[in-house]
Amino acid sequence: MKKLIFVCLVGATAWYGWTHYKGLLQRQPSHEAVIQNQTSHTLDRIRLKVDGQTLVKETLPAGETARLPFRVNHDSSFELWWGTGPSERSWTGGLVPAGPMAQRHSFTIGEGDEVMYRAEGKQGPG
């Protein structure tokens, strides 16, 4: 009985690998979130939520940039949170499509905690 179960598992694994090998071996394009700190102070506890996943950057010094790759399965908007000392700020907006085209999504956080968002096409698989 154990041999039969083992043979069935090996057969199912082989079948899955044979029918899905292209998807398993090809590198899929990913989106990229670029967060720029244009303020005069360090940003803490940066969280970017998209399509149910949360991308994290613990600190971002003034004038620095963080790049966070991600993939999505559904069209989604962004939710961005960051801390400045004891207070926390947030921003919601933008759109990332689930289609095959990868994009670079730039978030520039400026003085007064305003956020400028822009999306552009991204070349290459990474």
- Confidence check: pLDDT of 126 > 60: no
Q: Which tokens in the block code for residue 6?
A: 């083992």
Q: CATH number of the domain at 71, please.
A: 2.60.40.2890
Q: How far apart are CA 117 and CA 126, in angstroms?
A: 21
Listing DSSP states for the chain in one string gives -HHHHHHHHHHHHHHHHHHHHHHHHSPPP-EEEEEEE-SSS-EEEEEEEETTEEEEEEEE-TT-EEEEEE--SS-EEEEEEEEETTEEEEEEEEEE--SS--EEEEEEE-GGG-EEEEEEE--S--
In a domain, 1, yes or no: no
Q: Which tokens in the block code for residue 105?
A: 């999504």
In a domain, 18, yes or no: no
In a domain, 80, yes or no: yes
In a domain, 88, yes or no: yes
**Domain count across the chain:** 1
> Domain range spanning residue 117?
30-121
In a domain, 59, yes or no: yes
**What pLDDT does 27 receive?**
64
In a domain, 2, yes or no: no
Provide mean pLDDT across the span 32-36. Answer: 96
Model confidence over 43-97: pLDDT tens digits? 999 999 999 999 999 999 999 999 999 999 899 999 999 998 788 999 999 999 8
Contact 99, 71 (CB under 8 A): no
- Confidence check: pLDDT of 119 > 80: yes
In a domain, 107, yes or no: yes
In a domain, 87, yes or no: yes
The reported pTM is: 0.74
> pLDDT band at residue 14, thresholds of 50, 70 and 90?
confident
Q: Which tokens in the block code for residue 82?
A: 């960051």
> pLDDT band at residue 99, thresholds of 50, 70 and 90?
confident
Q: How far apart are CA 120 and CA 33, in angstroms?
A: 11
